Amino acid sequence: MKRLLACVAGVGTLGMSAAHAAQPVEWGTYLQPAASPIMADIHSFGSFTFWIIVPVTLLVLVLLVAVIVKFNAKANPVPSRTSHNTMIEVIWTVAPVLILLMLAVPSFRLLYEEQTIPPADVTIKAIGNKWYWSYEYPDAEAVSFDSTLIEDADITDPVNQPRMLAVDYPIVVPAGKVVRVQVTASDVIHAFAMPSMGVKIDAIPGRLNETWFRADTPGVYYGQCSELCGLRHAYMPIQLNVVTEDQYAQWLAAAAEDMDAATQLLASFRTDATKVAAR
């Protein structure tokens, strides 16, 4: 699977627990915790395939060892002249077909869920540039902004501004709402990827691709460009802030006037949530 070996996640922000703030960690070896229904289904599919892969791998290992031990030149100085066994040929033809059918049913179901976009509550247009992301909110004509990496020298809060992931102006969406993401690029091929949401889609110049997610839990989630798009490919992260519906309405109104003020408003949401959590 494309998303295998993605790293698991990290520090608490917006007053949420660590499970609600997804970012890569050192030596992470599995998928990020699911923050959307699609990602939860990807987790389930990954577990399902794992328990098919393990017995198949063990069976092949046992057969390989048996062949090495029983049919080497020392054990069989006179090799067998057998060239055909109908039963074995039927088994090694039918068994893989049955395994593939077992994988195909949940796989096609998952692909259908990913590709079928429900009626959207929020639409975001993501534009890949060399080397940053630009965002537009088509339903709010005045809201559009560039989102760039916060450089190491500009990090003032290492906990809430993780290195190589935090941006100056993040995407903001309301929790529990269907978000449609329209993805394109202005120059070269990029890829919009949010592992905790189960989203990864190419951003191609002259083409508009679409995907969707629904984040059920407020928090901060991180993604990155997943296409080798040039010199600063590793320096165009994606930061997604999921807030309550009321907070989203406040942010949207502020963003239409001044992005700096809107960003400060996000910080106040985080501060307020931290105070509530500390009581």
List pLDDT tens digits, range 83-92.
888 898 999 8
What per-residue confidence (pLDDT) applies to 186?
95
Output helix, strand, coil percentages for the chain, rounded to the nearest 5.
40, 25, 40
Tell me, which fold does domain 37-115 have in CATH?
Helix Hairpins (1.10.287)
What per-residue confidence (pLDDT) applies to 273?
54
What pLDDT, in 10s, does the model give residues 236-269?
999 999 999 999 999 999 999 999 999 999 988 8
What per-residue confidence (pLDDT) applies to 272?
54
Tell me how far the alpha carbon of residue 233 is from its chain's centroid: 17
Domain ranges in the chain with CATH number 1.10.287: 37-115
Tell me how far the alpha carbon of residue 135 is from its chain's centroid: 18
| pTM value surpassing 0.85 | no
Quick check: 193 and 22 in contact, CB under 8 A? no
What per-residue confidence (pLDDT) applies to 221?
95
What pLDDT, in 10s, does the model give residues 172-230?
999 999 999 999 999 999 999 999 999 999 999 999 999 999 999 999 999 999 999 99
Q: Strand pairing of 144-147 and 209-214?
A: unpaired
At 238, give phi and psi (nearest 5°).
-125, 125
d(CA 225, CA 236): 6
**Tokens standing for residue 3:** 């998303």
Domain ranges in the chain with CATH number 2.60.40.420: 122-278
Report the top-level CATH class of 122-278: mainly beta
Q: Strand pairing of 178-185 and 209-214?
A: antiparallel
**Tokens standing for residue 157:** 């809060």
